Structure 1
């Protein structure tokens, strides 16, 4: 069992700071997702745990052991890569068993452990196949099995599902979540996909420019974004972020007026509201916050995404699956004021009201 801790860790590549003064404790048995766009430092952070990158300053611990100077092979971590990294000339069995072979595990135990892990990831009937004879999902299972068979203290997963198609990603997410629950191994998972983060994590660390913008459970991150970056990054479709002005608690921008913000005034503000908290209404309704033209209508199955023209940008609402509006039709909009957010455009921090 293992916890992982970063104490004031900074990683530089020349003059470029990839990770800045990073502090984080990952609890024993926790599934922690590092989430953010390309270049935010999430993979570099994970590679420092693996020993594939050295911290420029600061300390990294597994349990109470400082591991900065410990060789990668002695850290007792297992890494699953985006590219699977399978040996093409070895069978599924030999790929899974390679870490055991390196450790000179006795033959009987070698066979037993491979058999147990292969059954767990449903590869027990494919042990004699070569990687080229497998689908993408099956290859990813081989990579997972190779990590699992070592029974490490920590799993490190670097965007392991990004090469799979949408259907397989959904299936593998469920399998990964169940496996981690079953194995109870501390897991650090890196992704730019916020759906993966929301569905897999116990906690999410949203990273931007080498620092953690917000740390919390998926529900906290979604329902309580503390910065403009987190608000815009989490959610599919994304949160509506509309620049404007707040005066005496009323937000105004390009025909949109929304009250309910107490008595605050912000010269440069951004209103944030999720599509599910924006509701269609009659254009003749006097209580609507906005009347605008429909730009597009997209049926997604369970509901309909409606985009409206608002100044030079679009505003999206999530309507009923039977919504019958047409492009260019005028539509009224009501916003749930108790579900809206206001951000200071200068500091990009949320303003509570």
Structure 2
């Protein structure tokens, strides 16, 4: 298929810099997710690959072909939009086959390709229906099929699951992952949903203010965040980030103390700890790091999320599904020093201990 490369790419809208000196190599057949909050530049990055935006400076390549200035129709990419973008007066079959009609593919070949793609996305029994007669999930599958039928070099997907309900999103994630594995087409996927990034991506590029803060596999980014932004963005529920001070390897903040952090001393520090690494304990346990009142208890099915009030913020722990604590009840908390992350509050960078 194709690799995609960004080399020193910047994009400005007037005085506003949307993308700044962007460098990224997307491998052939890779599923690469651009992850970040609204306004971080991820959709702009994708639109530059599609040819819907032009880079202000720098170069973009598909394989060895520099595509700056190349018209979108000659780039051989297919885009799936958040809004489906189906033609309401055309049937499912006609919507899927529209790219082939534009390219004047012979009718017999076109019919064969439409039927094959429809079968892949389980739409073969719905080919004569109009979009208004389909569910949200079925409409999204039509949009996917329309992109697949072209057999492009690169798939571009701009938050394609955000309009679906939770159950359909889970189902469609599985279908997308399996389809990309079958088709082996290089895919760039934009989302602000870190669960989608974790479950779909071969690699994730976490973006913030027009730059990549960290690039790696979902496991690498979750287990080894290199900046405060990445630590707080990746994870559901998000990592507990607690401001405080470190002196000679002991972190202290509003009733929380965690030792065993080497010989580090930082006047403005942030301690990060995942909810699954915070454990409830008895108040009179001599090894507790914190005693605090319960603020809320949320049963999620396989576990219970317990939020504790620590000064002006909350600390969340993931407890057993049978956790029986009550709001305002004081409980103890244990935090293992080897499971915490330490960040410099000034530079936002991770501090290794």
Give yes or no for TM over 0.5. yes
Question: Counterpart in 1 of 2:225?
Answer: 225
Give, in whole Å, the separation in 1 of the partners of 2:287 and 2:118.
61
CA drift at 1:304? 0.5
Match status 1:12 vs 2:12? yes
| Secondary structure, aligned partner of 1:316 | strand
Give, in whole Å, the separation in 2 of the partners of 1:282 and 1:48.
56
CA drift at 1:69? 1.6
CA drift at 1:339? 1.1
Question: Counterpart in 1 of 2:347?
Answer: 347
CA drift at 1:336? 1.8
- In the alignment, structure 2 segments of 5+ residues that lack a partner are none
Give, in whole Å, the separation in 1 of the partners of 2:190 and 2:260.
38
CA drift at 1:329? 0.9
The normalised TM-score by structure 2 is: 1.00
CA drift at 1:238? 0.6
> For this pair of structures, how many residues does the alignment match?
353
CA drift at 1:337? 1.3
CA drift at 1:265? 0.1
Match status 1:83 vs 2:83? yes
Give, in whole Å, the separation in 1 of the partners of 2:298 and 2:79.
40
Question: Counterpart in 2 of 1:169?
Answer: 169
CA drift at 1:211? 0.1
What does 1:159-198 align with in structure 2 at a 5 Å threshold? 159-198=159-198
Give, in whole Å, the separation in 1 of the partners of 2:345 and 2:120.
50
Give, in whole Å, the separation in 2 of the partners of 1:282 and 1:203.
41
CA RMSD of aligned residues (A): 0.4
Question: Counterpart in 1 of 2:107?
Answer: 107
Give, in whole Å, the separation in 1 of the partners of 2:336 and 2:31.
33
Question: Counterpart in 1 of 2:317?
Answer: 317
The normalised TM-score by structure 1 is: 1.00
Give, in whole Å, the separation in 2 of the partners of 1:303 and 1:335.
18
- In the alignment, structure 1 segments of 5+ residues that lack a partner are none
- Misfit runs of 4+, over 6 Å: none
Give, in whole Å, the separation in 1 of the partners of 2:81 and 2:312.
41
Give, in whole Å, the separation in 1 of the partners of 2:125 and 2:329.
57
Give, in whole Å, the separation in 2 of the partners of 1:336 and 1:61.
46
Task: Give deviations 1:14-61, integer Å, cap 9, x for gaps.
Answer: 000000000000000000000000000000000000000000000000
Task: Give deviations 1:243-290, integer Å, cap 9, x for gaps.
Answer: 000000000000100011100100000000000000000000011100
